[in-house]
């Protein structure tokens, strides 16, 4: 049994603290907005909780967790939650990703 989950790293050596501010990329703003909408804090249907967001972030494997940026973890977790709740299916997601990949690869668009 693992006593300490990977994300629960309080007190472990963490390296240097980067104090600079940084601008958010457009996709990061969108992920944040998506979470606000899905969690119902702006009204409307509540499709997930912040606790599920955290649970599914914690479920990301240690290597991927360390490699991903903050909002990459969010979007991964939001997607997992939507699949768990049946809002989208894995099959729908896979087909949509293929569709978008094909569109981006279309030489007429380059």
Partner 1 sequence: MPQVTARPQYPTDHPSAPVRFALGERVRVRKTYPLGHIRTPYYIRGHTGVIERLCGNFPVPEELAQMRSGLPAQPLYRVRFLQREVWPDYRGREDDVVEIEIFQHWLEAVKP
Task: By CB under 8 A, tell whether 45 contacts partner 1.
Answer: no
Token output for 4: 């300490």
- Nearest-CA neighbor of 56 among 89, 40, 78? 78
| Measured distance CA(40)–CA(31) in Å, rounded | 14
The only residue of 32, 37, 55, 68 in contact with partner 1, by rule CB under 8 A:
55
Question: Looking at beta carbons only, is 8 or 98 nearer to partner 1?
Answer: 8
Decide: is 87 part of the binding site for partner 1 (CB under 8 A).
no
**Buried/exposed code over 44-82 (b: 16+ C-beta within 10 A; e: otherwise):** eeeebeeebbeebbeebeeeebeeeeebbbbbbbbbbbb
Does 17 bind partner 1 (CB under 8 A)? Our answer is no
Does residue 107 interact with partner 1 by CB under 8 A? no
Exactly one of 29, 30, 54, 96 binds partner 1 (CB under 8 A); that residue is: 54
The binding site for partner 1 (CB under 8 A) comprises 1, 3-5, 8, 10-11, 49, 51-52, 54-55, 58, 84-85
């Amino acid at each position: 049994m693992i006593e300490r989950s990977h994300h629960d790293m309080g007190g472990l050596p963490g390296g240097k603290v980067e104090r600079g501010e940084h601008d958010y990329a457009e996709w990061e703003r969108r992920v944040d907005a998506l979470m606000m909408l899905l969690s119902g804090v702006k009204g409307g249907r509540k499709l997930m909780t912040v606790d599920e967001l955290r649970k599914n972030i914690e479920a990301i494997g240690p290597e991927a967790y360390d490699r991903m940026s903050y909002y990459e973890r969010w979007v991964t977790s939001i997607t997992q939650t939507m699949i768990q709740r049946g809002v989208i299916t894995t099959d729908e997601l896979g087909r949509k990703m293929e569709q978008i990949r094909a569109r981006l690869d279309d030489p007429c668009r380059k």
